[in-house]
């Protein structure tokens, strides 16, 4: 997903999405999203927007409920993969939603933290919902992947590279995200922040290439291998167990909001 820079945030690093790489190293993302689908509780006949649908694997689950679903994602590659599953998927950035009172619900799993500025996203979701419609989702919350962002920042700054300028994410806390949604016109019956340390399928290098490409590519070719080795050494004491199995220090922010 290419990330849009705005006046209010530093310029972002560019992240690309390869559906095969994503399925191999990030298959746990839609698996954990099944719990968020429980909160959405889609019903037959409803019209639902899946915001940041990725390769459509969770979108398919919503379709299974009998709802009619549109998926949007900023990555043309992921949208092509979603279409391959038969999903009505479209290349649209979350900051540029152009729907008017079309949906009973908007759902989003592990995608909103890539979409900035968040107030434009919230305004577009509000417009897209019918009155009474719900916005249900989960994103990275305050403290998310802090061990990793700390190591990236230190390693890049040692090389004279400004890590903040490459950071594409938005990880709000409960109060901040509640205020943001209320500012867009939502009522917010549920907002919950919780740690979810997560075993990952490969090593930390696979995870970094899947999600932090913009940071790795900021280091010139000749120094990148040493940078990655240095990150592994810095992160292993916190994130790897004695048998070399890696976890990531995810923190989730899960919410249910309503357009009255």
Give the interface with ligand BEZ as residue ranges (CB under 6 A): 110, 113, 140, 144-145, 169, 211, 250
For the CB of residue 251, give the shortest distance to ligand BEZ in the complex, in Å. 8
Q: How far is CA 155 from CA 66, 79, 143, 181, 209, in A?
A: 48, 34, 19, 35, 16
Given a contact cutoff of 8 angstroms between Cβ atoms, the answer to whether 50 and 40 are in contact is no
CB of 209 to ligand BEZ, least distance (A): 11
Looking at the Cβ atoms of 177 and 211, the one nearer to ligand BEZ is 211
Min separation Cβ 114 and ligand BEZ, Å: 8
9 vs 126 by CB, closer to ligand BEZ? 9
Nearest-approach distance from CB 259 to ligand BEZ, in angstroms: 25
Q: Pseudo-torsion of CA 141, 143, 145, 148, nearest 10°? A: 150
Task: State the Cα–Cα distance between residues 19 and 81, nearest whole angstrom.
Answer: 7
37-73 burial, b for 16+ CB within 10 Å, e for fewer? bebbebeeebebbbbbbbbbbbbbbbbebebebbbbb
Closest residue to ligand BEZ using C-beta atoms: 140
Joined tokens for residue 208: 């970094």
Q: How far is the CB of 205 from ligand BEZ (least distance, A)?
A: 14
Beta strand 129-140 pairing with 186-199: unpaired
Of the pair 126, 169, the CB lying nearest ligand BEZ is at 169
């Amino acid at each position: 997903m290419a990330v849009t820079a705005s006046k209010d945030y530093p310029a972002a690093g560019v992240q690309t999405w390869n559906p095969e790489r994503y399925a191999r190293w990030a298959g746990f993302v839609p698996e954990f999203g099944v719990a968020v689908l429980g909160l959405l509780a889609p019903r037959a006949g409803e019209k639902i927007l899946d915001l940041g649908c990725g390769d459509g694997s969770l979108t398919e689950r919503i379709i299974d409920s009998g709802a009619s679903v549109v998926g949007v994602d900023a990555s043309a590659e992921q949208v092509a993969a979603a279409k391959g599953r038969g999903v009505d998927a479209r290349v649209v950035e979350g900051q540029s939603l152009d729907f008017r009172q079309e949906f009973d619900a908007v759902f989003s799993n592990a995608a909103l933290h890539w979409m900035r500025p968040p107030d434009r996203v919230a305004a577009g979701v509000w417009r897209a919902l019918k009155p009474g419609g719900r916005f249900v989702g989960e994103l990275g919350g305050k403290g998310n992947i802090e061990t990793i962002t700390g190591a990236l920042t230190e390693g890049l700054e040692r090389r004279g590279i400004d890590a903040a300028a490459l950071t594409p994410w938005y990880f709000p806390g409960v109060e901040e995200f509640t205020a943001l949604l209320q500012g867009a016109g939502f009522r917010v019956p549920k907002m919950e922040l919780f740690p979810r340390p997560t075993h990952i399928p490969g090593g930390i290098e696979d995870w970094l290439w899947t999600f932090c490409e913009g940071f790795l590519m900021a280091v010139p070719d000749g120094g990148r291998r040493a940078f990655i080795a240095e990150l592994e050494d810095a992160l292993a004491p916190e994130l790897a167990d004695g048998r070399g199995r890696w976890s990531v220090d995810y923190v989730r922010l899960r919410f249910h909001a309503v357009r009255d």
